[in-house]
Amino acid sequence: MAEAASNLSSASPFSSLLRIGGAAEAGIVVAERTGCGLASLTLIGDDLAKLSQVVEEAIGLALPSGPKRVARDGFCLLGSGPKSWFVLARDRSLMDRLATAIGTYGALVDQSDAYGVLSVSGAKARALFEKGLSVDLHPDVFGCADVAVTLCAQVGIILWQAEEAEFRLALYRSFAASFWHWLQESAAEYGLRVEGMTGRG
């Protein structure tokens, strides 16, 4: 007899890697963010204005142009490439609402399981990223409205800031262990604290 599917265990990409704990004064603070929706959005055809309009009508955010970020009411849009974006939604039902609105103007594809999302903060967060990124994260250059789609220690990531000096990054889940190795080694001189999982955004 089949076991109830509702009992199926689920595992986030970093759940077997992160161990909560670390010094209070650690220079790097990391938390995995789980539980919400992540999708890729790609324009179908060439009517960008129309797609932006239907998205804005649905969630109150127009599509950003270039590597930029906008956020509001549980939604966050990240420019990820020409005519493509990443959508983060506080919960899945919000994502369904957006999917309905987009219709055939774009392709909204669920990627909630494809990526792990980490929050990286602390006084030494920028120093940490210097060891993996070739992107200038100086506050005058990379602010909360900016997004970088780049490599960090050979792993493809999407990087943004939820607020000043609180970085978020998304990477393919299969790379979680390799990325975590880089992060642990690179954070060693600053001290590393891991906090509990929190919602995405």
Partner 1 sequence: MNERPQPNRLAGGGIIDRAKPLAFQFDGVPFSGYDGDTLASALMASGVKLIGRSFKYHRPRGIFSAGPEEPNALVELRSDARQEPNTKATTTELFDGLVANSQNRWPSLAFDLLSLNQLGGSLLSAGFYYKTFMWPASFWEKVYEPLIRRAAGLGAASGLDDPDRYEKATAFCDVLVIGSGPAGLSAALAAGRAGARVILCEDDFRLGGRLLAETMTVDEAPALAFVEKAEAELASLPQVRLFRRTHVFGVYDGNTYGALEKVADHYPVPPDHLPRQRLWRIVAKQAVNAMGAIERPIAFANNDRPGVMLASAVRTYVNRFAATPGSRAVIFTASDDGWRTASDLTQAGVTVAAIIDPRAGNTAPASAPASAEAFSGGRIIKAYGGMSGVRGVDVLYRGKRHHIVCDLVAVSGGWNPQIGLTTHVGGRPSWNDDKAAFVPGTLPPGMIVAGAASGAFSLHACLAAGAAAGTKAAALSGKSSAAAPLPRAEDEPSRAAAFFHVAEAKGKAFVDLQNDVTVSDVALAHREGYSALEHLKRYTTLGMATDQGKTGNLIGQALMAELAGKSIAELGTTTARPPHSPLAIGALAGLHRGKHFKATRYLAAHERALAHDAVMTEAGQWLRPSFFPRAGEADWLAAASREARTVRNAVGICDVSTLGKIDIRGPDAALLLDRVYTNLFSTLAVGKARYGLMLRDDGFVMDDGTTARFGEHHYVMSTTTVNASKVMQHLEFCHQALWPQLKVAMASVSEQWAQFAIAGPKSRDVLAAVLGASIDVSDAALPYMGVAAFSFGPMTARLFRLSFSGERAYELAVPARYGAGVHDRLVKAAADFGGCLYGLEALNIMRIEKGHVAGNELSGRTTAYDLGLHRMLSTKKDFIGRTLAARPLLCEPGRQRLVGLKPRKAQDRLRSGAHILKPGAPLDAAHDEGYITSGAFSPALDSWIALALIAHGPERFGEIVRVYDPVRDGDTLAEIVPHIFVDPKGERVHG
- The footprint of partner 1 (CB under 8 A) covers 1-13, 16, 40, 42-45, 82, 104, 106-107, 109-115, 130-131, 133-134, 136, 138, 141, 153-155, 172-179, 181-182, 185-186, 188-189
Give the Cα separation of 87 and 79 in Å (integer). Answer: 9
Residue whose CB is less far from partner 1, 57 or 130 = 130
Shortest distance (Å) from residue 114 CB to partner 1: 4
Q: Both tokens of residue 117?
A: 């999302």
In terms of Cα–Cα distance, which of 189, 188, 150, 185 is closest to 167? Answer: 150
Residue whose CB is less far from partner 1, 145 or 154 = 154
Give bridge partners of residue 193 from the DSSP assignment.
29
Shortest distance (Å) from residue 80 CB to partner 1: 11
In 46-90, the DSSP E strands lie at: 69-72, 75-81, 84-89
In terms of Cα–Cα distance, which of 133, 142, 124 is closest to 189? Answer: 124
Residue 5, Cβ density class (10 Å: 0-12 exposed, 13-18 middle, ≥19 buried): exposed
Residue whose CB is less far from partner 1, 100 or 178 = 178
Shortest distance (Å) from residue 54 CB to partner 1: 15
Give the Cα separation of 47 and 49 in Å (integer). Answer: 5
Shortest distance (Å) from residue 25 CB to partner 1: 14
Residue whose CB is less far from partner 1, 72 or 139 = 139
Shortest distance (Å) from residue 171 CB to partner 1: 10
Residue whose CB is less far from partner 1, 73 or 136 = 136
Task: State the alpha helices, DSSP H only, in 37-146.
Answer: 48-59, 92-102, 125-130
